[in-house]
Homo-oligomer: A and B are copies of this chain.
Amino acid sequence: MSTPPRAKAGRPPQIGREAIITASVQVIDADGLDALTMRRIGAELEVTAMSLYRYLPGRAAVLAAVVNRLVVEVRFEVDPQAPWTDALRRFALGYRRMLLAHPRAVPLLATHPVDPTIGHAMTAPALARLRAAGIPDQDGLAAVQSVGCFLTGQALAQVGAPPGVRRPPAHAGAECYEHWFTIGLEAMLGGFQQQLTGR
C-alpha cells in the first residue's frame, strides 16, 4: 500500500521491510520472543538497530508485521463434496499446523490482532463453503470465530508458556493435547452442525 523506500538515487538499500520480517521470524523460532530485540534483528541482517527504523516505525510494528506474515502462510483446502463442517475442520487443522510450526510465536499470535483484510482472506474458503450450504454469513462468521478462538486457546495451553517460564512438571505431553484438541474441535463441530443444520 504505502510506497516502499525506493533507490531513486544514492546507495541501494542493504535491507528492506520483508527482510526484517523474515529475520524476525527466524529469531523468534530459534530463540523466542524475548530474544527479538531491535539490536538482534539488526545483527541478523548485519546492520545496526537504528537502520530498522527506516522501514518499520518501531518494535511494535515489527511484531504486527510478524503476525501478519505468519497468518498469511496458513493454507487449507476445502473439499466441496464433503459436509460443510469439514470445511471448518480443515480450516482448524491448517491454522493449527501453522501455530505448531512456530510454537514460540503462539503467545504473540494469540495476543496481537490480525489485519482484518488478511484475517478475512484466511477464512474466506471456509466461509464460502458454509454459504454454499445455505448457512447465513452471520452464523458462519460466528462459527469460524469460535473455532479460531478454541484453536488459539488450545495452542496456548500446549506451547504458550511465555519465554522465561518453566512449565509445571505435571504438564501434559503433546499427545495429550493432540487428543484434547480433537475432542474439543469435534464437539464444537458437532454442536454447530446441530445448531445450524437442525440436528
Instruction: Give every chain B residue within 8 A of A180 (Cβ-Cβ).
Output: 142, 145-146, 149
A113 within 8 A of B: yes
Q: Do residues A184 and B113 form an inter-chain contact, with CB atoms below 8 A? A: no
- Output the least CB separation between A94 and chain B (Å): 17
Bound-complex Cα distance A62 to B41 (A): 29
A7 within 8 A of B: no
Given A157-B145, A165-B64, are A184 and B111 neighbors across the interface (CB < 8 Å)?
A: no
A103 within 8 A of B: no
User: Residue A164 contacts which of B60, B188, B189 (CB distance < 8 angstroms)?
Assistant: B60
Instruction: Give every chain B residue within 8 A of A110 (Cβ-Cβ).
Output: 107, 110-111, 153, 156, 160
Bound-complex Cα distance A115 to B146 (A): 27
A97 within 8 A of B: no
Given A107-B111, A160-B111, are A146 and B195 neighbors across the interface (CB < 8 Å)?
A: no
19 contacts between A and B (CB under 8 A): A110-B111, A111-B111, A111-B162, A113-B171, A143-B187, A146-B154, A148-B157, A152-B153, A152-B157, A153-B156, A184-B188, A186-B195, A187-B192, A187-B195, A190-B191, A191-B191, A191-B192, A191-B194, A194-B194
Other A-B pairs beyond A113-B171, A153-B153, 5, CB < 8 Å? A116-B168, A149-B180, A149-B184, A150-B153, A187-B192
Interface residues of A (CB under 8 A from B): 60, 64, 107, 110-113, 115-116, 139, 142-143, 145-146, 148-154, 156-157, 160-162, 164-165, 167-168, 170-171, 179-180, 183-184, 186-192, 194-195
